Structure 1
Amino acid sequence: MPSTAPDPLPPGLDPWAVARRFEPVVRYTQGELFFPMAVEDYVARAALWSRPAVPAPGRRDRTRSRVADHGELTLDGLLQRADEHRDSRLELRTVPGPLARRERLQWRRRPDRARLSSTSRLATVGLLGRLIDVLFRLSLVVRGAVPGGLTAAIQQAHPTPADPQAGHPYYAHVSSDGRYLVVQYWFFYAMNDWRSTFGGVNDHEADWEQVTVFLSPREGWSDPDGRALPTDPADWRVAWVAFSSHDETGDDLRRRADDPDISWVGDTHPVVHAGAGSHSGAYLPGDYLIRVEPPALQRFLAAVRRTRRALFPWTDDEHKGLGIPYVDYARGDGRHIGPGTDHPWQPVLVDDDTPWVRDYPGLWGLDTDDPFGGERAPGGPRYERGGTIRASWGDPVGWAGLAKVPATAAELHATQQERLAELGRQERSLSADIAQRTRALQSTAVGVDAVPPTLARERGGIGARRRVREKESAVADLEQERRTLVVEREYLQRAINRPVETPPHAHLRHRAVPDIDPDRPPGLLLRVWTEASLSVLLALLGVALLLGYDSALLLGGVAILAVTGVEAVLRGRIATYLVGLAVLVVIGGAIYLAVTNLRVALAGLLLLAAVAGAVANVRALLRRR
């Protein structure tokens, strides 16, 4: 099978030395149950199951057949069976099943088990977000989900080593792409227990996460022939860092080495704060509010946001209260692994020729068939769930949005000069085209203008004048394009003559920072209210329906106003609530009048228009004075 690496490594470069020089430090949250482990240990306890690769038409085939039982596998044995069942979908199961209820309760009560001081996630969103949360939780009953008690069973099967020096492995993939040297550190966890342990959005068996370091030749390195790359790790410097993270893609994945959000141990070891249970990577320690929008509700929530912006344009956060709220705890106050800590790494090099990376395209845990995807086990570091090669593995530079970014200052300068020359050529070409089209426009226009209007109507003069307008518009478009090129050329020349350091966050569309201040948690009343208010509202609406349809609308409206009013008081937003209520009353009254008395509604609109016009005219008059 051909390698997916875009370019070969520089001859003489030791990938082991490169991986050790830039390996990260991972800081976990207090209460974390799963830490990086060896794939051999996971496979040694796992069973292998297969399912048909192509299910029967019109349904999902959930029938599994066991290929190897627990304790029968090694890595070599896994690859042999994968080859024998390459026409099937394969899944590893590390434990036979979840713990029973009594065993699970005993496991939860262990005195040595660390606890997390959690944040009230529901206090961060409004009623709509809490309603969606309830529906999403109910959906776990009907969609594929990891069963309860599985976290406890897997943690007992793969406990954290008691000896700090036992070490934790990472799997380093070193590749070259253009002038970038890319070092990916892959971490394997037996379980993602974000939902069951930390109140997050999902659980799934096994978890693969990564930290990717993009290196470029250090400034001042002597390049003998203009194309060679360094072979000494000391001649490489960190240019960019990218962590696995929730809902971040492209440019938002990466941070520049001089970004103040990145912490370092020494000069070469970036610090990543791993989310509790989710193991996602964060640059800054803290609690991150994640708002998940189920695919089935994305259009509905987008319409709600548009309506909110139209009715309440003064609101400062268009996403507030929407989506399902979850907190990703990346506090870094638990175990630390890596250089400068009590827990060293055990590096393992992998590439496209590593047999278990290349030849096992199956899943590393149970496939729950969750249509949302969150509860399904992952593929390996090289493969997506469907068996295709991950973009982060096969094209890490493009995956992080770096294909457009020169790796060194020299390359940047050369690229700027090339663009400057190209802009000059385009500008000259446009100028020639404009001159030619202008002559043609003038030729057409003088001919049309020479024809008397009475004769022009008989000879299709209207169509001729339309052609003149079309040619004139085409010339104007080209002139606009040329002006744009001129502006770009002038600014580019200025950047070449007086280079200015780009701010480290300039490339980011969204800068992920902690959303919740642990020193200012929501008050007790607000936490209690957000946990109980939705149940209170639903109960009141149910009582209103039981009292009869005639009173249900009135009582339901009163219940909604009462519940939202209490929430506004607890959140300190009573003024916003009253203004919003006034806007809704006006809109509701207008709709009611339009339905019941169209004449009065039109009169009201005319009076409002008259008042608005008079106010605008008075303001204009005062400004002129």
Structure 2
Amino acid sequence: MVTGVDDRAGLLEGVDLRALVQRYEPVLCFTAGEMFFPMPVDTYLAGAALWASHHTTRGAPTLLVDHGELNPERLADTARAHPEAALFLRYAPRGLHRRELREWRRRPDRPKFTGVSRLAAVGLLGRFIDSLLRLSLTLRGRVPGGLTAAVQRQYAAAGPQTDTYHAHVSSDGGYVVIQYWFLYAMNDWRSSFSGVNDHESDWEQLTLYLVPSPDGPDGFELAWVALSSHDEVGDELRRRPDDPDLTWVDGTHLVANAGAGSHSGAYLPGDYLVRVQPPSLEGALNTVVRIRALLFPWTRGTVAEGLGIPYVDYRRGDGTHIGPGTGRPWTPILIDSATPWVRDYRGLWGLDTADPFGGERAPAGPRYERSGAIRASWGDPVGWAGLDKVPPTPARALRAGADRARELAETIAELDGRIADGQDELRRMSAGLEVLPPTVTASRRGGDGAAAALIAQEQAMAQLRARRRAAVNERDQLRAVGGVPPLPPPHAHLRNRVVPDVAAPAGALLRFWSGASLSVLLLLLGFALLLEQGSLLLACTLAVLAVMGVEAMLRRRLLLFLLSLVILVGIGWLTWLLVTNLRIAFGVLAVAAAVAIGVANLRNLFGRR
């Protein structure tokens, strides 16, 4: 139940909030094989327990409220009673044991899912880093085995769920913001869909930005939409309603494709390749990128394919659909900053694994980050989507243009005065110097520094005047068209338009090789070390080249691999010559330089460009 409304500009006074959120409620399309769907907070809490962790003292967590005894009111009350405690919820009391897990996997109603080979999407280096990450799971706090199955069994045992969103309506920066928050019992991306992580519970959001309009229903019209995503921030999050990538039901209900297990949102259905670079390896990977681009310029467009840890986010939209026109309607619940459980509970909505990387810890609620700080998307939704620089209405755009022109005029006037003062000072310093001998004027060269500063100020003045002319022209153009600026192309604000980027499933041989290649390479290197036959360096080099050659052949890049190998051998040969025989090395370099210069001069002589 809503107890107030976050209305900073008074735009929502007298507005029926429930009718507003239902007018624009989205259609969520899930991937076939998804096991968890948006549920109400009170249903989740009815099956959960509340704990207090003791990470600093390494002590066991303390149970505060047991399973079956929790509801939103008690959650808020307990959180207020323990303001300094690190609180977390636990939905499933434990993970399933091995026998239980085998039975769960064999159940006939288990959703079926067919994925693609994520390892076939990247090169050998990406697979090597992926193996290191998977080995590191034994050293980091993570979700226990069998927890996904336990959560799903408990979720299913609770009976049919009402498909629910929790709507937060606010006004910020001239926009009316509607956030649809979705609570899932589990994020099972890793265990069910070979993704990055698992964590108990999941909160995702879809945000709409409305602007006042006398022609729109309820006095508003839709200006922007934004989906929560793994990789996009700021401007990259949002799209205009006329964007061709967007699909609408009845003109007002946005179709969003939820990731399998991850529940992240996508505008276009499909499979998305997510490449993760561990921060500790970022520098080394960037160095590899630069070296490859320098040696093989033709690989610059595809160089990232072999780097990073590959994961696929399946956002196919070929499974369950929820929302208007689907047969599964939404149940709306309105929340705001005064809703007790939203305001008072800053803990985690699921098991706290103490994962130092954060990926396998449960999330905090809609209003808070894990640290307890207020989420940017909740406290500053306009800035979160990069809309703080986009005027919501033509009147605001005109006012912003006029303000910018006035501020520039004031700055120019101030700088004009400083330049005039500098000119007077420079003239006083230079008075009479031309009649004095150089031995005297040498000590008066401070005027050179003043002159340089004056030139810099005059250059700054020229730039400011150019900016003011542009601002005035923009303001005049807006006035000429009635204050309504022409719309740029719908993707003009995007630096990287994210689209499905996983190709058709790889062939059987490539899929097999993707899984076996790293083991084959390690076996060859191991035999080279154990047998000690001939040169160890030569044996290891041949092993690596053999594996890379098979990789190139299966990807139909054998000629490119051989050309790259020839270039590397040539560079190595020149380096060896330079080190062992300077005379021959410089001779080769001189001949190469003569040929290059001769070709360039002949092209210039015959007028070829």
Please, what TM-score do these two structures have when normalized by structure 2?
0.91
Distance, in Å, in 2 between the alignment partners of 1:554 and 1:420 is 69
Shift of 1:4: 6.8
1:566 maps to what in 2?
A: 550
Match of 1:501 among 487, 491, 496: 487
1:195 maps to what in 2?
A: 190
Instruction: Write the deviation string for residues 368-422 of structure 1: whole angstroms up to 9, x where unpaired.
Output: 1212211000111111111111111111111111111111223223323333444
1:229 maps to what in 2?
A: none
Task: Find out whether 1:350 has 2:320 as its counterpart.
Answer: no
Instruction: Write the deviation string for residues 427-448 of structure 1: whole angstroms up to 9, x where unpaired.
Output: 5655665566567667767866
With over 3 angstroms needed to count, the CA separation of the structure-2 counterparts of 1:94 and 1:466, relative to structure 1, is closer
Task: Find out whether 1:259 has 2:243 as its counterpart.
Answer: yes
5+ residue gaps, structure 2: none
Match of 1:472 among 425, 431, 455: 455
2:35 maps to what in 1?
A: 33
2:323 maps to what in 1?
A: 338
Question: Do the aligned residues in 1 keep the contact of 2:402 with 2:472 (CA within 8 Å)?
Answer: no
Question: Do the aligned residues in 2 keep the contact of 1:49 with 1:66 (CA within 8 Å)?
Answer: yes
1:141 maps to what in 2?
A: 138
Moved more, 605-614 or 194-203: 605-614
Question: Do the aligned residues in 1 keep the contact of 2:199 with 2:360 (CA within 8 Å)?
Answer: yes
Shift of 1:88: 1.2
2:368 maps to what in 1?
A: 383
Shift of 1:580: 2.3
Task: Find out whether 1:92 has 2:78 as its counterpart.
Answer: no
Q: Which amino acid letter does the alignment assign opposite residue 181 of structure 1?
A: V
Question: Do the aligned residues in 2 keep the contact of 1:90 with 1:363 (CA within 8 Å)?
Answer: yes
Question: Do the aligned residues in 1 keep the contact of 2:419 with 2:454 (CA within 8 Å)?
Answer: no
Question: Do the aligned residues in 2 keep the contact of 1:4 with 1:394 (CA within 8 Å)?
Answer: no
Distance, in Å, in 2 between the alignment partners of 1:564 and 1:448 is 75
Instruction: Write the deviation string for residues 291-315 of structure 1: whole angstroms up to 9, x where unpaired.
Output: 1111221222222222222222222
Within 5 A, what are the aligned runs for 1:138-217?
138-159=135-156, 167-217=162-212
Within 5 A, what are the aligned runs for 1:409-488?
409-426=394-411, 454-455=438-439, 459-460=442-443, 464-465=447-448, 468-487=451-470
Shift of 1:87: 2.0
Moved more, 193-202 or 566-575: 566-575
Distance, in Å, in 1 between the alignment partners of 2:432 and 2:308 is 64
Distance, in Å, in 2 between the alignment partners of 1:306 and 1:160 is 54
2:49 maps to what in 1?
A: 47
Distance, in Å, in 1 between the alignment partners of 2:45 and 2:367 is 17
Shift of 1:449: 5.9
Distance, in Å, in 1 between the alignment partners of 2:434 and 2:136 is 72
Distance, in Å, in 2 between the alignment partners of 1:29 and 1:487 is 49
1:114 maps to what in 2?
A: 111
Shift of 1:548: 3.1
Distance, in Å, in 2 between the alignment partners of 1:320 and 1:344 is 41
Q: Which amino acid letter does the alignment assign opposite residue 371 of structure 2?
A: G
1:374 maps to what in 2?
A: 359
With over 3 angstroms needed to count, the CA separation of the structure-2 counterparts of 1:256 and 1:104, relative to structure 1, is same
2:20 maps to what in 1?
A: 18
Question: Do the aligned residues in 1 keep the contact of 2:405 with 2:468 (CA within 8 Å)?
Answer: no
Task: State the Cα RMSD in Å.
Answer: 2.8
With over 3 angstroms needed to count, the CA separation of the structure-2 counterparts of 1:199 and 1:62, relative to structure 1, is farther
Shift of 1:123: 1.2
Q: Which amino acid letter does the alignment assign opposite residue 83 of structure 1?
A: R
5+ residue gaps, structure 1: 222-232
1:75 maps to what in 2?
A: 72
With over 3 angstroms needed to count, the CA separation of the structure-2 counterparts of 1:323 and 1:112, relative to structure 1, is same
Aligned residues: 603
Q: Which amino acid letter does the alignment assign opposite residue 132 of structure 2?
A: L
Moved more, 188-197 or 497-506: 497-506
2:307 maps to what in 1?
A: 322
Distance, in Å, in 1 between the alignment partners of 2:7 and 2:287 is 43
Question: Do the aligned residues in 1 keep the contact of 2:401 with 2:472 (CA within 8 Å)?
Answer: no
Shift of 1:119: 1.1
2:98 maps to what in 1?
A: 101
Distance, in Å, in 2 between the alignment partners of 1:197 and 1:30 is 12
Shift of 1:515: 0.4
Question: Do the aligned residues in 2 keep the contact of 1:33 with 1:160 (CA within 8 Å)?
Answer: no
1:299 maps to what in 2?
A: 283
Please, what TM-score do these two structures have when normalized by structure 1?
0.89
Shift of 1:210: 0.6
Distance, in Å, in 2 between the alignment partners of 1:146 and 1:75 is 25
Shift of 1:527: 1.5
Distance, in Å, in 2 between the alignment partners of 1:363 and 1:549 is 58
With over 3 angstroms needed to count, the CA separation of the structure-2 counterparts of 1:508 and 1:340, relative to structure 1, is same
Distance, in Å, in 2 between the alignment partners of 1:215 and 1:470 is 49
Shift of 1:487: 4.9
